Amino acid sequence: MLNLTHGAIENASLDKLTGCCRHLDTFFSSADSDIILLSDTIVCVLNAVFSFVAVFANIIILYALCKASSLHSPSKALLCSLALSDLGVGAIVQPLFVAYRWAHINDNLPVLCTAGIISHIEGSHFSAVSFLTMTAISLDRLLALLLRVQYQSVVTLKRVLVVLAAIWIGGGLWASTWTRNQNTYTLVSIIYIPICFSITFVAYLKIYFCLRKQACKMGKHVNPLKCIRNNANDMNFSRYKKSVVSMFYLFCAFLVSFLPYLCHKVAVSISGWCTSTSVLFSFALTMVYINSSLNPLIYCWRISELKQIVVRVFCRCRERSVVTKVKYVSSRDQVKILSYKRY
């Protein structure tokens, strides 16, 4: 009787896990196993490499943001939130995604289900945080243009931190509904994604037209993003323009990385799960995760102070490696090398 009960419980647990796995990968039964095996292997390698890149690069960016002095504190907090979500993708989501796909290759159902569920939940969480943070960044840039002098008194660090706390908590609550209530998860996705996209698009469009209007007042009837250099009033338009363009590049990179995933959703709704949509699913999620490795490059490319700090960090590491190499040479040679480095 005890054995039967234990077996029933074990079967029930297995059925529950299998049900979750069917929800994760309903295409297993109909997909070409050889093609899926190859795609999973490639995806595992890509995510393993970019996981390391995302962790290393975003730690450097967070350090640079802490050291940067020219950035306004609320804007710095928003960028830190974005870098933290990217760090979470590299440190948590991608390793779990690798374990999930590797377990699929080796037919390890418990690991597949556990790693797959957690990676999906955390991936949804960090993606929501990134998307909402980028929406907040677009509104921050719009308020900086509209409020001018009052901007620093209205957009304070305390208020931004409250908004970011709401974003992180709200994103986590939404992601957790994936295992409890699929209808709620889908409904919230359908609502918040178009709203955030619309707000961000309208904010950047409003910024463009405001700058264009300012350019016309200055008597320059050309593209305002190329003609405005400064303003005698309360803000440096050249610096503001650069910050807006930088944040817009981040938003565009985010959208481009999510485009394959949206295409996958459309393909599944049309043809259902098959070999091609299964392969697209794995590579689409990989593209979403790779975005976390690309954002630090955009920071260094567009924000000069962050670039300078990052370069200094690497220069220090290089100097330390040189000193380590000459450590076991004769003391006189070492003094000569170190003296040469100072000059």
Other CB atoms within 10 A of residue 43 CB? 22
Supply the pTM of this predicted model: 0.81
Q: Residue 250: its pLDDT value, please? A: 93
Q: Residue 98: its pLDDT value, please? A: 94
Q: Residue 340: its pLDDT value, please? A: 42
> Quick one: which H or E segment has residue 88?
helix 73-88
* Spatial contact of 196 and 202, defined as CB atoms under 8 Å apart: no
Closest by CA to 78, choosing from 146, 138, 33, is 138
Measured in whole angstroms, the distance separating CA 339 from the mean position of its chain's CA atoms is 44
What CA–CA distance (Å, rounded) separates 322 from 216? 55
Q: Residue 234: its pLDDT value, please? A: 43
Q: Residue 239: its pLDDT value, please? A: 80
Ranges of the chain with pLDDT below 70? 1-32, 215, 217-236, 317-343
Query: Could you tell me the CA-to-CA distances from 71 to 48, 75, 325 in Å, in that order?
Result: 33, 7, 37
Q: Residue 29: its pLDDT value, please? A: 46
Q: What angle do CA 230, 199, 265 make, to 5 degrees?
A: 130
Both structure tokens of 47? 């995510």
The interaxial angle of helices 33-67 and 73-88, nearest 10 deg, is 150
List pLDDT tens digits, range 246-298.
999 999 999 999 998 888 888 888 877 777 888 888 899 999 999 999 999 99
Q: Residue 214: its pLDDT value, please? A: 74
CA atoms within 13 A on the CB side of 193: 14
